[in-house]
Amino acid sequence: FVIKMSLLMQRVAILTRQVARPLAASRHFASQAPVGNGDEVLIERLEGDRKGISVIGLNRPAAKNSFSRGMVETFTEVLDEIKKDNASRVVVLRSLTPGIFCAGADLKERKGEALATEFVKELRSLLISIEQLPMPVIAALDGAALGGGLEMALACDIRTAASNTKMGLVETRLAIIPGAGGTQRLPRILSPALAKELIFTARVFDGTEAKDLGLVNHVVQQNETKDAAYQQALKLAEEILPNGPVGVRMAKLAIDKGMQVDLATGYSIEEICYSQVIPTKDRLEGLAAFAEKRKPVYQGE
């Protein structure tokens, strides 16, 4: 146990150094530009007052944004680029297809046992990559999020939903289980007993019920343009933008890693993460802005 904790702390220390590196240098994407071999996952880097917000858009309308192998590969490439794009301070994940967020896995590609096993492994890896992005990720659910679609939303840090959005982990209807992290994330977000109830019954519920359960952070009435949850996600992202990007990243890392260990070890993880913000220029800028009674301008350094 002691050896395992020592290795964990070493890993956290490495992660903090990686996440806290200067954020001035950045990679740039074209607005709504296809990445990889297809246009099923698009990325848009917002400008103006929203500079620093990167929007990932799911764009496979003919298949209700269900995960195909090609889509998973393209999505993985997008995440690899986002992870290196230090100008991205907040990521918003949305659907570009009205009425649907993601219908889960494309069942047409999962008939054989070997194919199904390998595909779920790849999908699980993709969702872990979303979960481990260094910056906050907000899922905007303006349409149905079922099976793997909801599992993807669970991998995000924050969730917004339209009140009429349908969602659920429905895999047991197909005599399988949520295999891309749903059995692990849902009980951690809610409770083991409630997660079991929702998974055993394959229950489908709406955005209002999801808010009551504690599954989504915000629920909003759908608007005429069918993007109410996305607009709410942008508001949240705008609240995050003015804050120190290194501090935000360290806070995410401290929470995520601390939730996986006992409280005493969690305190040690917090200490490691805090130590990374002390030598930053942003911390000095925050102190100077406070003394001068002005808004700080953080550079991620």
Q: Known catalytic residues?
A: 105, 148, 151, 171
CB 109 within 8 A of CB 115: yes
Secondary structure in 3-state letters for 69-110: HHHHHHHHHHHHHHHHCCCCCEEEEEECCCCEEECCECHHHC
Distance, in Å, from the CA atom of 248 to the CA atom of 161, rounded to the nearest integer, reads 23
C-alpha angle with apex 161: 157 to 167, nearest 5 degrees? Answer: 95
CB 57 within 8 A of CB 40: no
Contacts of 29 (CB under 8 A, 6+ apart): 35, 43, 44, 45, 54, 81, 85
Nearest CA-CA partner of 27 in 71, 69, 88, 72 = 88
Nearest CA-CA partner of 140 in 79, 209, 44, 218 = 218
